[in-house]
Structure 1
Amino acid sequence: MPHLDRRSFLVTGLAAGAVTALPSAPALAAPDPAVETAKSLASRGLLTDPFTLGVASGDPDHAGFVIWTRLAQTPLAEDGLGGMPLRPFAVMWQVYADERCRHMVRAGIAEATPQWGHSVHVEVDGLSPDRDYWYRFRTGPYLSPTGRARTAPRPSSLGGSLTMAFVSCAQYEHGYFTSYRRLAEDCPDLVLHLGDYQYEYTRDTYTIPGGNVRDHEGPETETLAGYRQRHAQYKADLDLQAAHAAAPWLVVWDDHELDNNWADEVPENPAIPQPNFLARREAAFRAYYENMPLRRASIPHGIDMQLYRRIRWGRLATFHMLDTRQFRSDQGCGDGYDDCPEASDPARSITGAEQEAWLLDGFRRSQAQWDVIGQQVFFAQRDNNAGPAKVTSQDAWDGYVASRQRITQGWVDAKVRNAVVLTGDVHAHWASDLKLDYDDPTGRSVGSELVATSISTGGDGADSDPATHPYLAINPHLKFYNNQRGYVLTRIERDAMTADFKVLPHVQTPGSEAYTRATFVVEDRVPGVQQTYLRPLDPTLRATTEITADLTARLETERP
């Protein structure tokens, strides 16, 4: 295999090799009889390559990470089993210290069972901190693509800078996943997916003007077979596979992994009887675990799944990954956008009491330069009404004002050095200052929020002058808006966090290049966002003249 530079390897090397790390291991000598037997047994019943869904890694610490794959000879099989025989398969996993996969440092055999959708989750441990590794899988004569993972610095070490990308909202039908490909080309050290990894709708249910560019297979996802099939359809996309192979991911869900705007045990529309909703929730959670690089701690138990967790990147950053769906109170005022008195009810919570206490305790114990809260829905106040009444989204933190106040006050009281909230959900780029009192525009900022647009949801979107968006006039703490598709690429250093808002001119046709629409910086111990770059509006791109008329009716909600 000729030498590839890092960018070429990550983008084109999906079928080449893999690496992970630990102290040096000797080269393999004579074939191990147990390994040869496992390979022979694994090949029975496999007629084609089962590694059609790629590979992934996730949840890194200073000594390792989890590596994942799922066997599927026929990814879109209606029964959700990927065309696999109903028996276990032995899968060899290998971790390397070099991208050419010559220096193996860890290896073993895992079992892929039909009970768990023939998925494989291996928690690799004992590796060296703060370095790249590569990994791959083998079963029978078939070799998986190779992925790159990375360990975090030692807990006591600040380490070097961290390149981190975050994304959300990838509706398969609305566009191609080119943003994932461009993200992979940026070679991040870590990727955060903040929800809506897949969508539940059957074809022709959630459409964009001009029509969807590709279709979902199968009915609306309500059963384990349906969720498995839908995850497989997404995972079979080569652009998504490239992003997974490029770096370890931290994943959390939002609503579409189960059902639009669900809240705890309440479906989107509680007025319509859904007697199978809890069974649907259990199926969705199980399929989510099967298809994500998650540790054993996240194995679901019935309708419950432990997804909120904390990942430390040395002393540089602590990532508090939240779950704002599983424990929330139902949305107030019928999930509308009125001036809703329920929004201020202190008894209502978007996190639940236990997760809130866990988060506040994490703030008090934190010694990180940067405390990063990875979560789903808009955190800052986003008022849609220029008058005295507040017209806000009840599905976002605006619908849980007391919850937001307690958490914001919590990081202020804990004297968190730098609090940054990362958000998805709204299909647009935003940047904002965070306040204790949003009714006092002169009050001091106490944190920063960066919001990633969608990967594809909503289709191409459109460029616009952010200064003309009415939200920015009504809410002076909101500093930036853009309605194109893309992702956010950050560089976290000791003295600053820099965020490039990456956009693509189009996603309804494949192959678009990405560019930086704006750059914002959060300086150490200076709460709030500061714009350092804004690309001029491209006159060749369609302007968003329809924004004002669309505001009240849509508010960037999921469905038209």
Structure 2
Amino acid sequence: MTYSSHQQEMRDAARHVGRRRFLTVTGAAAALAFSVGLPAAGTASAAELDARRIGDDPFTLGIASGDPLPGSVLLWTRLAPRPYEPGSGLPRARVQVRWELAHDERFSRIVRRGTATAHPEFDHSIHVEVKGLEADRVFYYRFRAGAWTSPVGRTRTAPARGARNSTLSLAAVSCQAYHDGYFTAYRHLAREDVDVVFHLGDYLYEYAVDATGGARNDTDHRLPAHFDRETVTLEDYRLRYGLYKSDPDLRAAHAAHPFVVTWDDHETENNYAGDTPENGVPPEEFLLRRAAAYRAYWENQPLRTPQRPTGPDMRLYRRLHFGALAQFDILDTRQYRSDQAYGDGWQKPGPESEDPSRTMTGAAQERWLLSGWHTSRATWNVVPQQVTFAQRRDVPTDAYLLSMDAWDGYPASRDRVLKGAEAAGIHNLMVLTGDVHVGYGFDLKQDFGDPSSRTVGTEIVATSITSGKDGSDRPGSWNNQMRANPHMKFFNGRRGYAVITLGRERARADYRTVSAVTTPGAPVATAGSFVTEVGNQGLTPA
């Protein structure tokens, strides 16, 4: 791997800061903030670029909105006239960008307008929090820079807290390896009638992408050589987001719906756990990489100010409400978890994995989740998160193995969550999951070892957008897993997404799949549909 001068600076910073001091909270934050050039709050660039001097379209990465609140929307864009180049074709100068929010697509009824500054320190990204809006309304938005106007996006505010809304439709997506195929599923999702999209992680992958885009095999549009290496530096991660967000189908989905995002591992590095990397580099060196990855993530996602990172730390877990119908507790199961037991992978469970001190969420996030349930009055309590929550044995014999990277590798942590839900009186629990590149439907059991035990919730696992390439309806593990896990009600290995409709009496999950991603333009179909009733949890065919 060839390291840039910036990467060498990061390595030098790690070497010159003593490990003991580095790993203290203040020492680590200060060193990491310096190493990646994170400006203090309110810092402005020394120069300003007249937006009229931007000669190429700066909105090549599209627009997005996220985290709907009853009276507020969050609008995002990033200026990138040449997204495949370091710096994206702009000088290190700030740019003034105008934004507009309207009731209609033609912008004849403007609701709000203003100006935001695109700072080079944040790679010319913009996060506009528009407040004082009417609850439960659809809005349209756009940006302007000089003579250039962005595409039009559609967003919405959430219903007022406690409003008696009768239905909410959402989509769950995950795992979109650019090099594994086309984002065709996003083109179909852009046309779905959903209120909000939850992205459950692996928005990008750190792996090298060759000149033809891997499985896309696009020989007409060759990619620069700097994509053909693993992401390590801040520049690497920024360029990789430029590659992913240049995809027209992903841009269409963002323009059509507000997104609520959380990460998994590949936004930083495969299967990292807290400050422990996959490979044996020193923790201080990995935390420098994590700081770069987290910063690039915030710059490129429609996230609000409380989620802006400080060095290697970023508060991504948060809570959203959609009237009286749904409370969403969005988790981060990477940043605070214990290291995977038995060296990771599929292993026989034992004392190490079953140690009660092991945690998937960290103590603070676990307390936040359980206390939030005690005050919830929502019909549905939904937990968007990353890795498979239900028990998942690989074979129907006593020689079964479990995934140490999923909640099966942290059973005590899972038990605390389920018991916490029961103690809080949560009767309609739904977990949304990504990561595994297949669609699953699970009943969550009070005791996974006893199929007759009470069903305490459901889990909807959304398959990948592309990761795993085309897939199949019945992967090779289908028979074994269906027989080994009586609480597994659905298993499909195609690419796609899930659409979940929450109502006052029941919820419905539709697993939407495409037949191929290694060739563009595949149609979408429904591979399975299930319902679960309020007060009577468990998936049954619709």
- TM-score, normalised relative to structure 2: 0.87
Separation (CA, whole Å) in 2 of partners of 1:48 and 1:187: 33
Separation (CA, whole Å) in 2 of partners of 1:466 and 1:183: 28
Alignment of 1:341-360 (within 5 A): 341=350, 342-360=352-370
Counterpart position of 1:428? 438
- 2:296 paired with 1:290: no
Separation (CA, whole Å) in 2 of partners of 1:466 and 1:189: 35
- 2:137 paired with 1:127: no
- 8 Å CA contact 2:199, 2:259 repeated in 1: yes
Alignment of 1:141-156 (within 5 A): 141-156=147-162
Counterpart position of 1:10? none
Matched AA of 1:276: E
Matched AA of 1:422: L
Matched AA of 1:94: E
Q: Secondary structure at the match of 1:354?
A: helix
- 8 Å CA contact 1:167, 1:194 repeated in 2: yes
Deviation (angstroms), 1:44: 4.6
Matched AA of 1:383: R
Counterpart position of 1:313? 322
Alignment of 1:100-499 (within 5 A): 100-203=106-209, 213=217, 217-270=227-280, 276-341=285-350, 342-464=352-474, 469-499=479-509
Q: Secondary structure at the match of 2:353?
A: helix
* Structure 1 unaligned spans of 5+: 1-39, 533-560
Q: Secondary structure at the match of 1:527?
A: strand
- 8 Å CA contact 2:273, 2:336 repeated in 1: yes
Superposed CA offset, 1:323-360 (max 9, x none): 00000000000003121322211100000000000000
Matched AA of 1:102: S
Deviation (angstroms), 1:385: 3.3
Q: How many residues align?
A: 487
Separation (CA, whole Å) in 2 of partners of 1:528 and 1:269: 40
* Structure 2 unaligned spans of 5+: 1-47
What is the RMSD of the two structures over their aligned residues, measured on CA atoms? 1.8
- 8 Å CA contact 2:532, 2:540 repeated in 1: yes
- 8 Å CA contact 1:190, 1:248 repeated in 2: yes
- 8 Å CA contact 2:182, 2:216 repeated in 1: no
Matched AA of 1:479: K
- 8 Å CA contact 1:264, 1:326 repeated in 2: yes
- 8 Å CA contact 1:418, 1:524 repeated in 2: yes
Alignment of 1:7-46 (within 5 A): 42-46=50-54
Sequence identity of aligned pairs in percent?
48
Deviation (angstroms), 1:390: 4.3
Separation (CA, whole Å) in 1 of partners of 2:389 and 2:60: 37
Which segments of structure 1 move beyond 3 Å, counting only runs of 4 or more? 211-216, 272-275, 465-468
- 8 Å CA contact 2:83, 2:242 repeated in 1: yes
Matched AA of 2:144: R
Deviation (angstroms), 1:436: 2.0
Counterpart position of 2:104? 98
- 8 Å CA contact 1:57, 1:65 repeated in 2: yes
Distance change in 2, residues 1:336/1:82 (3 Å): same
Counterpart position of 1:68? 76
- 8 Å CA contact 2:320, 2:327 repeated in 1: yes
- 2:513 paired with 1:503: yes
Q: Secondary structure at the match of 2:374?
A: helix
Deviation (angstroms), 1:176: 0.2
Deviation (angstroms), 1:384: 1.4
Counterpart position of 1:58? 66
Matched AA of 1:498: R
- 8 Å CA contact 2:185, 2:514 repeated in 1: yes
Matched AA of 2:469: G
Deviation (angstroms), 1:131: 1.2
Deviation (angstroms), 1:161: 1.3
